[in-house]
Structure 1
Amino acid sequence: MPVVQAVAVVPVTPDVAFAVSQTTGAVRYRWDPFVREQHLLDGAARPAKGVRTFTRSRHGLTMVSEYVSYNPPTNVGMHMVRGPWFFEMMGGGWRFAPAEQPGHTVATWRYNFRTRPALLRPIADRIGVWLLGRDIRRRIEGFARGCQDPAVLAAVGTPANP
């Protein structure tokens, strides 16, 4: 099963990094170049294990995903409930760990997926690795910028570093 991953060291603590990763609405759209629309489903007020999320990507594709883990400030995991026809399965996880430099965090984002139809999988998986790899790198770069953006930090209750 193909896996794509991106890592960044951000100048905030793991709890702040985690909070930035879970922002929604205008704050999320400020830093996340992948998401064009995203909201929680079923009347959920906040993310938690079992909560479903609707996402529309910058490509116009939509997905309903479900949190399979939600453990602030260390990790969050999701899997696709419904999404683009070419994914047989899709999952992802984000991890946040203290970096060697105090006050910094190593953020690791990982996706795994399986394409369909099986006959095209050898080619489709390569395309998926390329496309999702590009998107996850752009996304974590946006996340790193968000972790330094005064408006994003204020939204999660943390002032920007002087």
Structure 2
Amino acid sequence: MVTGVVVGVPAVGASAQAVGGGGVRGEGEQARGVEVRVRNGTGCRLTRSDYGLSSGQFVARPPVTLAKGQDGVFKAQAREGSYKGVAGFVEYTAGSCDASWRNGHTARLVFGAAANGMNSYTSDGGGAFGTRLSGGGGSQAVMTWIVSR
């Protein structure tokens, strides 16, 4: 089992990370959650084209648009009383890019914080963008997702 290691981060492509921080919730502990801080360094306007959760609920939904150079934040957490954790994804499509060949390409993040075990994150730049992940451990994880040229 890989713990707290970036598995791969090509210059333009995909990256993956698994980080520790699982365990059984005790009495009075908060439901597991993931806060994602998105950094748009693409030279494009990013428009949310798809998103969803297979478990949990959004506390703050992913931003609809991120202007060139703009940062955004979203957060999801497990439903109270649920031991499924939280799992979901978000996808952005590029437009109005400084380099027009990037228009229409997507960047996607898949995230999960299991009730027991590892938090996991994968991201893909759709062949047009580099992606980088940092942070993301613990039961109230804070992850930074950087999408760049």
TM score, norm. by length of structure 1: 0.40
Higher relative helix content: 1
Higher relative strand content: 2
TM score, norm. by length of structure 2: 0.43
